[in-house]
Structure 1
């Protein structure tokens, strides 16, 4: 069965999701259905990268100058810890430390999770005297038609 993602943007798409769930159950009892909140917004994404850039420009952490991407990993780890998400820790290949192998992707965050990440990032920066800049301008891409909210992947 192909993986399908539907954004519940209107009644037609809600009905489509119900049909797909029933079909999955009829064909494969035990199929998994996952419901997530709305994805992060473009404004949240812009704010996150502006804040991470401010951290990278103004702070040294662990005695190192870090990139915005490095700080993103630190902040995502803080979010997982705050939410008490399961973390998978394994020894590094040379056994001199440990590696967190939990999935780490800000693009998979829901709107609420991204709000929490921004709050954690702001608190961290405030505690370390970061002077915040404004987020990058909003993405001005056109809104896709409703039909675009149903995705299929194999």
Structure 2
């Protein structure tokens, strides 16, 4: 069985059949341990077009800007830049004590972001790019066209 299942309920006529499916899946899954059932509105979840946009943008920044790490400018990967941008978006840095000393900056999880938060993150990256002369790749620009169409339709 997969790790996560999603059922979309589009109206009152859908409720009984979908809840029956949920009931059956929960009963099967409980044999392997506890389960979690979550209710949320689909429109609040980040969109696939937003997600496709993020990584080309982060790759563009990572290939054109160095990051100061431990006081030294170095080339960092898109994952490190994602942490930098999500921390900037939060406007409050969360710091944890490292296991062997030092500190660990805790970023936001993009997988947990709502559409508006994710949109704010993309706009933050664009603003950074504009201020720092980032040349967006063809892939980032292509995805941006799709992203803009989705945003305007929302």
Q: Shared fold (TM-score greater than 0.5)?
A: yes
> 1:100 is matched with which residue?
105
8 Å CA contact retained: 1:75, 1:121: yes
8 Å CA contact retained: 1:40, 1:114: yes
Which of structures 1 and 2 has the larger relative contact order (alpha carbons within 8 angstroms, sep 6+)?
A: 1
Structure 1 window deviating more from structure 2 (113-122 vs 34-43): it is: 34-43
> 1:23 is matched with which residue?
none
- How big is each residue's C-alpha offset from its partner over 1:39-94, in whole Å with a ceiling of 9 and x where there is no partner? 2222211211111010011111110101111111111111212xx5xx54222234
- CA positional deviation for 1:15: 5.0
**What are the within-5 Å matches in structure 2 for residues 9-28 of structure 1?**
10-12=10-12, 15=15
Aligned CA-pair RMSD: 3.4
Q: Which has the higher helix share?
A: 2
The runs of 5 or more residues in structure 1 that have no matched partner are 20-32, 139-154
- How big is each residue's C-alpha offset from its partner over 1:15-51, in whole Å with a ceiling of 9 and x where there is no partner? 56xx8xxxxxxxxxxxxx7646522222211211111
TM-score, L = length of structure 1: 0.59
* Aligned mates of 1:118, 1:14 — CA distance in 2: 35
Aligned length: 120
* Aligned mates of 1:49, 1:126 — CA distance in 2: 17
The runs of 5 or more residues in structure 2 that have no matched partner are 20-37, 144-154
* Aligned mates of 2:14, 2:122 — CA distance in 1: 30
Are residue 114 (structure 1) and residue 124 (structure 2) matched?
no
* Aligned mates of 1:13, 1:78 — CA distance in 2: 44
User: Residue 129 of structure 1 is aligned with which of 104, 128, 133?
Assistant: 133
